[in-house]
A and B are shown apart, each in its own frame.
Chain A
Amino acid sequence: MPALNKLYNEYRDQAEFWMIYIAEAHASDVWQLGVNKRDEVVFASPETIEERAELAAVCVRDLGIEFPAIVDDFDDRVEQAYTAWPDRLYVVDVEGRIAYKSGAGPYGFSPQGVEETLEQLVGGLQEISAVR
């Protein structure tokens, strides 16, 4: 997350950044990770969209995420459309097409790939305005 915060602060004037909070992979009632238990990140699966939104707010605050967040629908439709769990990064270009798709996290979670894509996309925009 620090790497993404850094990117956000570098590119926030040229690109949108959104955290999409999806279903918890390791809720305490199904799969408790030792590492989360140590960090006292323990909670049950939310049972309503309101509970999920509350959890999202806690997540954003505690992880120190500086860019804004939105909450996936309770039917996980956006997670499914983007094959997003456990976590994943995308960059969508100005035309609404996928410019970058990371591998499935945590193994494929690569802020560097986002940075390279943004450099290309935003660099390209600057060239166009220079020509004009």
Chain B
Amino acid sequence: MKKALLSAALVLALAAGGYAVLLGHFYGVMKQPPVEFAQAWADTPSQLKRWVPLELLLTRARSGSLSVGERAPDFALDTPDKARTVRLADFAGKRPVVLVFGSYT
């Protein structure tokens, strides 16, 4: 009886440990550029994916370092047709700027 309890506890501990490693793994790749996470996700069997709390992990791992009130990092990027280079600092003192980050998929 005692032996059965012990082995049950051992199995539970191993499962919990494995789960923690899995979550830690995804948390780590979510900190990286999107391809890293995409690759890790693609390599994960679907039975395991069901156990990954994506929203919680993504919200935490992608919380970022910028906060409200901080200076927005400047950038200069081209339009897709390269007709114009847009610098964030050019709008300072003029108008607020809405930045919509995204991709197709």
The proximity string for A residues 41-84 relative to B, scoring 1 for CB distances below 8 Å and 0 otherwise, is 10101000000011111111011000111111100111111111
Q: Is the CB of B86 within 8 A of A83?
A: no
The answer to whether residues A16 and B105 also contact, given A96-B89, A97-B71, A103-B59 and a CB cut-off of 8 A, is: no
- Is the interface on chain B under 10, 10 to 19, 20 to 34, or 35 or more residues? 35 or more
Residue of A nearest to B77 (CB): A70
Residue among A63, A98, A108, A121 with the most chain B CB within 10 A?
A98
Q: Is the CB of A83 within 8 A of B66?
A: yes
CA distance A63 to B99 in the complex (A): 17
The proximity string for B residues 17-38 relative to A, scoring 1 for CB distances below 8 Å and 0 otherwise, is 0000000000000000111011
The answer to whether residues A93 and B59 also contact, given A55-B104, A81-B75 and a CB cut-off of 8 A, is: no
Interface flag for B65 (CB, 8 Å): yes
One of B70, B98, B103 near A89 (C-beta < 8 A): B98
Q: Is the CB of B103 within 8 A of A24?
A: yes
Residue among B37, B42, B71, B102 with the most chain A CB within 10 A?
B102
Interface flag for B63 (CB, 8 Å): yes
CA distance A96 to B93 in the complex (A): 8
- Is the interface on chain A under 10, 10 to 19, 20 to 34, or 35 or more residues? 35 or more
Residue of A nearest to B103 (CB): A24
**Could you tell me which residues of chain B, from 76 to 105, have a CB within 8 Å of some CB in chain A?**
77-82, 86, 88-89, 91-105
CA distance A27 to B38 in the complex (A): 8
Q: Is the CB of B77 within 8 A of A92?
A: no
Interface flag for B1 (CB, 8 Å): no
One of A53, A76, A82, A100 near B82 (C-beta < 8 A): A53
A–B Cβ pairs within 8 angstroms, 10 of them: A17-B100, A25-B34, A31-B39, A82-B99, A89-B101, A92-B72, A96-B91, A98-B71, A104-B63, A122-B96
> Which residue numbers of A lie inside 8 Å of B, CB to CB?
4, 7-8, 11, 14-27, 30-33, 36, 41, 43, 45, 53-60, 62-63, 67-73, 76-101, 103-105, 107-108, 114, 117-118, 121-122
